[in-house]
Amino acid sequence: MKSSPSLSPLVLVAALAMMVSASVAQDDDYPRREAVESRTRAGLPNFFGKLRADGKKELRVAYLGGSITAAPGWRVKSLEWLRERYPDAELSEINAAIGGTGSDLGVFRLEQDVLRHRPDLMFVEFAVNDGGAPPERIHQAMEGIVRQTWLADPETDIIFVYTLSEPFLADLQDGAFSLSASAMEEIADFYGIPSIHLGMEVAAMEKAGTLIFKGEKPKGAAVSEPGAPMLFSTDGVHPLVETGHELYLDAIARSWEKLEKCPGSQEPKPHELGDPMREDNWSDAKLVPFSESMLSGGWRKLDNSGDGDPIARRFARLMPEMWLAEKPGAKLEFRFRGSVVGIYDIVGPDGGQLTVVLDGGEPKTMRRIDGYCTYHRLSKLQVGSGLDPETEHVVSFTLDSEAPDKKGILFEKNRPDLEKNPDKYADNVWHAGSIMLIGEIVE
pLDDT given for residue 16 in this prediction: 43
pLDDT given for residue 24 in this prediction: 37
pLDDT given for residue 14 in this prediction: 41
Reply yes or no on whether the pLDDT at 255 is more than 50. yes
Cβ neighbors of 97 (< 8 A, separation 6 or more) are: 7, 63, 64, 65, 66, 67, 69, 70, 75, 125
- How many Cα neighbours within 13 Å face the side chain of 419? 6
The three-state DSSP-derived secondary structure of 212-268 is: ECCCCCCCCCCCCCCCCCEECECCCCCECCCCHHHHHHHHHHHHHHHHHHCHHHCCC
Can you give the pTM of this predicted structure? 0.91
Mean pLDDT (whole number) for 271-288: 97
pLDDT given for residue 218 in this prediction: 78
**Domains of the chain by residue range:** 9-265, 286-442
pLDDT given for residue 13 in this prediction: 41
**How many Cβ atoms from other residues are within 10 Å of residue 419's Cβ?**
11
Per-residue pLDDT tens over the stretch 77-113: 999 999 999 999 999 999 999 998 999 999 999 999 9
Reply yes or no on whether the pLDDT at 363 is more than 80. yes
CATH number among 1.10.10.10, 1.20.1090.10, 3.40.50.1110, 3.40.50.300, domain 9-265: 3.40.50.1110
Mean pLDDT (whole number) for 169-179: 97
Per-residue pLDDT tens over the stretch 109-135: 999 999 999 999 999 999 999 999 999
CATH class of 286-442: mainly beta
Do residues 432 and 325 make contact, with C-beta atoms less than 8 angstroms apart? yes
- Strands 364-367, 195-197: pairing is unpaired
- pLDDT band at 7; cut points 50, 70, 90: very low
pLDDT given for residue 56 in this prediction: 83
- pLDDT band at 8; cut points 50, 70, 90: very low
* Nearest partner of 125 among 214, 52, 221, 199, judged by Cα: 199
pLDDT given for residue 50 in this prediction: 96
